[in-house]
Amino acid sequence: MKLTTKSRYGTRLLLDIALHSANGPVPSKDSARREEISLKYLEKILKILKEAGYIKGKRGPNGGNVLTKKPEDISLGKLTQILEGDTTVLDCEGDVTTCQRAAVCLRRSIWDDANQAMYKMLDSYTLSDLVKDARLCPMDRPE
């Protein structure tokens, strides 16, 4: 399974907001600059995260984005599912009607196990873990 830039950039965006929100909302343009993500693409990701209830935006001269959940309550697995949508390894994993052999396929359970293992691992990490790592390695965090 290959994750798209939505997951990678969305994680970087939430991390940027978590790291820079001590003085108030974080402007999108600042996050885009620091994370080297086009503002237009970042705004698409912001929309998904706002709809999912992870961030909210504040308008005006001191506006920007703030997290609506604590970093320790944001699992990377759930974040990936929100940003990627359907993340099953095979189509038949989520919908057995897509393959005539799904009901008798001996390998289908292997792919299901692989998908579950990936999310179990991703769910074991939270945004808080990334914040701690970023603070230990500040050279990776451009200002």
Domains of the chain by start residue, with CATH: 5-140 (1.10.10.10)
DSSP class of residue 26 equals B
**pLDDT tens digits along 77-114:** 999 999 988 666 666 555 666 666 666 676 767 777 88
- In sequence order, the 6+-apart residues with CB closer than 8 A to the CB of 69 are 53, 54
Pair 121, 113: CB distance under 8 Å = no
Distances (CA, A) of 103 to 34, 68, 112, 115, 129: 48, 42, 13, 18, 40
Among 43-52, 90-99, 125-134, the range scoring the smallest mean pLDDT is 90-99
pLDDT at residue 35 tops 70? yes
pTM over 0.85? The answer is no
- Cα torsion at 80, 86, 92, 96 (round to 10°)? 120
